[in-house]
Amino acid sequence: MTGSEANSTNTSQLTDKVFNGADTVRKTVSPGEDRAELANLTTSLLQRLRRNQKLLSPAETQISDFILRQPQSALALTIDNLAREIGVSLGTISNFCQTLGYKGFKEFKLDLAAELKTPHRLDQSVITEGDSLEEIANKTTSANVDALLTTHRNLDKDALERAVRAIREAKRITIFGFGVSSVVGYDAYNRFLSMGLWVNWVPDIAHMAATATLLKKGDVALVFTYTGENNLIVNCLQQARQNGATTLVITGNRHSPTAQEADIMLLVYPREPTAFLSNLYVSSRTAMEGMLDMLYLGTLFSSDQTMEKLDEVSEAIGELSAHLQKPL
């Protein structure tokens, strides 16, 4: 078998492996998994609930869902009425509050009230069927602003510095993403290309596996994925790491299989404004774009060389534009 035939066979085998496992996967949290994040009182109560849904039991998830969808109602109800409304026991409510780091329901409500009454509070409620256009506009804007502010507030500055260094020093950058995440990936492709970096964007699932096999040490596999739960992306990252490439993942799910394959992980903190359509990913796109802006501008201003490349590319584009505008 020739070298080219061997490479073709390996690529084909990996493609088969990837496509056979392309269904969405779910990570099951073991009973003994550390749930310390839930009780971290330095983080917003509502944000803790949004970020750590997978650490909750089924009964706790019922309570969390109600609070996230109707925080004002949860604040107004007594523990008896809240338990009756959700369909759980009083003991379950009390245990839930203690899991979140509170002594009991009263302390939990005080923290929730403080969060909902902050001077610059955003509308924490979700869009529901029957909302007016004005209400939809307000809640959507609030969710997007909240996503950017919370992402910045929880930013891992060390991870961002390592990500900037990896992008700046990369021999090649290959970008992966699906759906909404792929749109952000295309934006990243244009931005890094404008800086004169060697960058490739792979939106076609038929090419992802083959592209992953080509990555080597010194290259960067940049992945945008909100859920982080697609086997195709996971397998591509595994292949990239096996070849020695650096894997950089921008995601909203630190517990996902994709996150486990990240050499560098940048977390975003979206708050989706819709209650009845969980797959719209409105503010997740906003949060990922915000993180991309930090990564792009951080790289751009990290050295004189990147600024010079940007000027060269801008000049070349300007010359091409002027040429195209000339009459035939």
Section 311-317 average pLDDT: 63
Q: Give the CB-side neighbour count of residue 27, counting CA atoms within 13 A.
A: 21
Cα–Cα distance for residue pair 201/76, rounded to 1 Å: 49
What's the mean per-residue pLDDT of the chain? 82
Cα–Cα distance for residue pair 95/122, rounded to 1 Å: 28
| Phi, psi of 201, rounded to the nearest 5 degrees | -115, 130
pLDDT tens-digit profile of 16-62? 443 333 333 334 444 444 577 788 876 778 888 888 888 899 999 99
Indicate whether 186 pLDDT > 90. Answer: yes
What are the tokens at 247? Answer: 């894997």
Indicate whether 325 pLDDT > 50. Answer: yes
**Edge to edge, what strands does the sheet with 264-267 contain?**
199-202, 173-177, 220-225, 246-251, 264-267
Contact 231, 205 (CB under 8 A): no
Superfamily covering domain 155-317: Glucose-6-phosphate isomerase like protein; domain 1 (3.40.50.10490)
pTM of this structure: 0.65
- CATH T-level topology, domain 36-121: Arc Repressor Mutant, subunit A (1.10.10)
Cα–Cα distance for residue pair 83/233, rounded to 1 Å: 41
CB contact set of 19 (below 8 Å; sequence gap of 6+): 205, 209, 232
Q: Give the CB-side neighbour count of residue 253, counting CA atoms within 13 A.
A: 19
pLDDT tens-digit profile of 268-310? 988 776 654 555 678 889 999 999 999 999 998 887 776 676 6
pLDDT level of residue 260 (50, 70, 90 thresholds):
very high
Question: Distance from CA of residue 28 to its chain's centroid?
Answer: 19
What are the tokens at 280? Answer: 């719209």
Q: Which residue blocks in 117-221 are alpha helix, DSSP H?
A: 133-153, 157-169, 179-194, 205-214
Could you tell me which of 197, 171, 172, 182 has the C-alpha nearest to residue 300? 197
- Among 69-78, 144-153, 300-309, where is mean pLDDT lowest? 300-309
The secondary structure element, H or E, covering residue 296 is: helix 282-300
Tally helices (H) and strands (E) across the chain.
Answer: 15, 5
Domain coordinates in residue numbering, the chain = 36-121, 155-317
